Amino acid sequence: MHLRTTAALTAAFISTTLFLLLLPIPTVNAHNITRILANFPEFSTFNHYLTITHLADEINNRQTITVCAVNNAGMSDLLHKHLSLSTIKNVLSLHVLLDYFGAKKLHQITNRTTLTATMFQATGTATGSSGLVNITDLKGGKVGLSTDDSVVTESSVFVKSVREIPYSISVIQISRMLPSAEAEAPTPEPADVNITSLMSAHGCKDFAEALLASKAMSSFADNINGGLSVFCVIDNAFRQFLLSPRYKNLTVGEKQSLLEYHGVPVYQSKAMLRSNNGATNTLATDGASKYDFIVQNDGQDVTVKTGVVTAKIVGTLIDQQPLVIFTIDKVLLPKELFKGAGSPAPAPAPEAHAPKADSPKASKNKSKNKEKHVDTPAPASSEAPADSPDDYSEDLEADSDGAVEIKGFRFAALVCMFNYLVV
């Protein structure tokens, strides 16, 4: 009896575990807005702007959404306003509703009216209710869409359904852009953003001060206009590191490289990182010195693996093309400075080092952003680095990375295993 109960419980536990493990997998792009709209030339301008603002990546990363597209004539009204690209992004993000509205649901709205959240509101740029869209079932079967801060007469109406993938994405055409003073307000130019005071004000004071005291600051400043992603370290983690002998032992030049290692000279939003896993060069990269790291998803999280440590993105201070600043929970320790230092020959897995030098992953020089998924072995395998999980398995100190690594590895191994079971 006991045995049977235990067995049942174990079975229940295993199936729950498998179910939980399965969850992250279906989130791999179920839809591709670029491809959907490519079939409709009348939305080519709208589609183009979704791509260059990188909203397409955000849309592809979400489930249960509605994209309200306007045709090329509607877009040219917007473009005549000569807004900056980041303002256009705000306006377009107001046209992405964070709920699924197919044609049928639009005509069956409870009490004939509803307010729905949008991607603009989700960015935090919007204040108050300005990121909300009011959908109202008007008389005569018409459905009107408007924003709170717009004049009612300017409301846009539902024209037709373009594509519906139930529970995933609905693309509808609306008669005109949704007017919103707030979304159209000019955004500060990224070059005018003082990145260090932004960091200081949001929990990365020590990192900001280290940057201000180093020549690395100019590498960051010089790259803002051309595209820059910064991974700044939260105060607790960075302060501890500053006090450690590992940091104190570095030369001035090495300290500069270490800081530059926290910047990537291209704009990569979190959604882009998530769909574009792989090796990435940094501001510290130059000819002989690789100073690259691996970006890899861990469920819904995005991690950065240096080969010495694995850090996780824990927040976003600004995401305004061409500048994005993330906060991370650990200092990124480049192999170039920390490999082997202080931890001679990690005992448990000596073979971990052998395949490293010539493993396929070592061909990191094709890191220049785009064709990254090419070298991941299996399709949709961003969760499971089956070929070299050991790549990043050891850590220098007991600053709790050990536990995280092991968990991450087990998780990956289980997912792999389960993939085999399913296939």
Ligand X SMILES: *[C@@H]1O[C@H](CO)[C@@H](O)[C@H](O)[C@H]1NC(C)=O
Can you give the binding site for ligand X, defined by CB under 6 A?
Answer: 29, 32, 34-35, 60, 110-111, 113-115, 134, 136, 152, 194, 196-197, 200, 212, 245-246, 249, 275, 341-342, 365
Helix/strand/coil for 90: helix
Which amino acid type is present at position 364?
K
d(CA 214, CA 131): 40
- Residue closer to ligand X by CB (options 83, 272) is 272
Alpha-carbon radius of gyration of the chain: 24
- Residue closer to ligand X by CB (options 29, 76) is 29
Q: Residue 325: beta bridge partners?
A: 230, 318
d(CA 327, CA 72): 38
Residue 365 gets which letter from DSSP? G
- Residue closer to ligand X by CB (options 92, 224) is 224
Please state the closest distance from residue 15 (CB atom) to ligand X, in A.
Answer: 31
Please state the closest distance from residue 325 (CB atom) to ligand X, in A.
Answer: 14
In the block, tokens 């003082």 appear at 194
Please state the closest distance from residue 186 (CB atom) to ligand X, in A.
Answer: 20
d(CA 148, CA 158): 17
- Residue closer to ligand X by CB (options 83, 171) is 171
E-state strands within 166-292: 169-174, 228-233, 263-264, 278-280
- Residue closer to ligand X by CB (options 275, 321) is 275
Paired tokens of 9: 């419980």
- Count, residues in the chain: 423
Please state the closest distance from residue 374 (CB atom) to ligand X, in A.
Answer: 12
DSSP string for residues in 100-143: ---HHHHTT-GGGEEEE-BHHHHTT-S-TTTT-EEEEE-GGG-E
d(CA 132, CA 152): 14
Paired tokens of 202: 């949001």
Please state the closest distance from residue 270 (CB atom) to ligand X, in A.
Answer: 14
Please state the closest distance from residue 39 (CB atom) to ligand X, in A.
Answer: 10
d(CA 298, CA 404): 11
d(CA 267, CA 229): 5
- Residue closer to ligand X by CB (options 89, 372) is 372
Please state the closest distance from residue 167 (CB atom) to ligand X, in A.
Answer: 19
Please state the closest distance from residue 376 (CB atom) to ligand X, in A.
Answer: 13
User: What angle do helix axes 252-260 and 216-223 make, rounded to 10 degrees?
Assistant: 30
Please state the closest distance from residue 254 (CB atom) to ligand X, in A.
Answer: 11
- Residue closer to ligand X by CB (options 265, 408) is 265
- Residue closer to ligand X by CB (options 110, 251) is 110
Strand 169-174, strand 228-233: pairing: unpaired
- Residue closer to ligand X by CB (options 152, 423) is 152
Paired tokens of 255: 């300290």
